[in-house]
Structure 1
Amino acid sequence: MVTCPEGHRSAAADYCDVCGAPIGAPPATVAAPRCPACGAPSGGRFCEACGHDSALPAPSPPEPPARQDDSKVADSAAVRPPTVTWIATVTADRAFYDRVLAREGPDSDRVEFPAYYPPRRITLHGSEILIGKRSVSQGLHPDIDLGIAPADAGVSRAHALLHLTPTGLTVTDLGSTNGTSLNGGDDLIPPEQPVALRSGDRVHVGAWTTITLTVEPA
């Protein structure tokens, strides 16, 4: 006879004859050992899956391979200059017009300052940007067309050329009638010779037109 957890005497050794309570705990389940190298169940010294000897230390996990593509991208980004966009803002410049009148520049006697000329903002594209006036007969289609009304009569058909490179911007006067000046100065730049520009520089053409060049993040 055995005694169940409730204190009853029972002839059966597994469940109490009186209350049915289980007598004794079931044997604990022992987990099968696993290989420290691959994790597969292993009952002997040598793993049947990978052959690892359990008497030896577990192997260190492999290091992840170096991401060469990322390092190449980082290196190229470190040496590549940031991409920027050049913007040309065209305005009617009263101060420039007054200077032209004061020195009695070409066409000053017949060119009037426009009553209304809203600023024009032009994004520069390509490597060569022509400044001038459109002419169907001459096949001229300037990127910065100053022939749009009210047109500056002092601007030549092919007046100047902006040359854009990955490292900077230059302006070249193309032998225009009235010349090209910079940043409020009265001295004209030499024709057919590129002059380097920086962000914020002002290019004066014609009798009252000023083109301000600035860079912005792309």
Structure 2
Amino acid sequence: MVTCVEGHISAATDYCDVCGTPMSARPVSTPVAEPTAVVPAPTAAKECPACGAPVVGRFCEDCGHDSALPAPPSGPSASTVQWTAVIDADRAYYDRVQAREGPDADTVAFPSYFPQRRITLQGEEFLIGKHSRSQGVTPVIDLSVPPADAGVSRVHAVVRIVGDGLELTDVGSTNGTSLNASDDLLPPNVATPLRSGDRVHVGAWTTITFVLS
């Protein structure tokens, strides 16, 4: 007794008694398909939460928003406008402080170099001051970045978004806060409305201009 290539038991040795397959036939091998290489799909672009531009990596190429940071607020309660704080060393303001012999005027020098800084305001309330780990002070508008203005208090003033506008409140700073080249200091703990383009003067030479961006 022999077994044909199909697996049948046959008494005949030339052809299978069951299926008739020649006993000399060899099983036909079935070609095995080569595995197909898996090509990763390209990373889909997502929308920048700050400006809406398409973003593939971490940083938006249009506005520079870091996707690792919290997204700007959205929804019915969020402001419909975007504010930017522009920080400058203001020589004209410094000269006025010197002329009126403001606090520490004779000991604070005007910086020889101060690159303009721009801070996009995200949220509803922003502290102006100087960072202090020991005191737990983490201002959004941090004026401790060198060269730091010695006349700015750790907790100097607070800016709040109210509707489509801003309000500024000096929270009892040592040297006070003024607006738009005025020498009159704002009363502490009293909210003052701000418009786009208003200049806030703090310390001995720092001016912060708030603009719609």
- Please report the TM-score for the alignment, with normalisation by the length of structure 2: 0.62
Aligned residue runs from structure 1 range 21-32, under 5 A = none
Tell me by how many angstroms 1:82 deviates: 8.5
Structure 2: unaligned runs, 5 residues or longer: 1-77
Tell me by how many angstroms 1:83 deviates: 2.2
- Name the residue aligned to 2:136: 139
The 1-side partners of 2:123 and 2:104 are apart by: 32
- Name the residue aligned to 1:197: 194
2:166 to 165, 169, 180: 169
Contact 2:103 2:175 in 1 (8 A): yes
Moved segments of 4+, more than 6 Å: none
Aligned residue runs from structure 1 range 50-129, under 5 A = 83-129=80-126
Contact 2:201 2:207 in 1 (8 A): yes
Q: Quote the RMSD (CA, aligned, Å).
A: 1.6
Question: Percent identity between the aligned chains?
Answer: 64
Contact 2:79 2:163 in 1 (8 A): no
Q: Alpha-carbon deviations, 1:115-168, whole Å to 9, x = none?
A: 000100000111110000001111000001101100000000000000112331
Aligned residues: 137
SS of residue matched to 2:82: strand
Structure showing greater radius of gyration is 1
The reply to whether residue 130 of structure 1 matches residue 127 of structure 2 is: yes
Structure 1: unaligned runs, 5 residues or longer: 1-80
| Structure 1 range deviating more: 159-168 or 132-141 | 159-168
- Given residue 133 of structure 2, which amino acid in structure 1 is its aligned partner? V
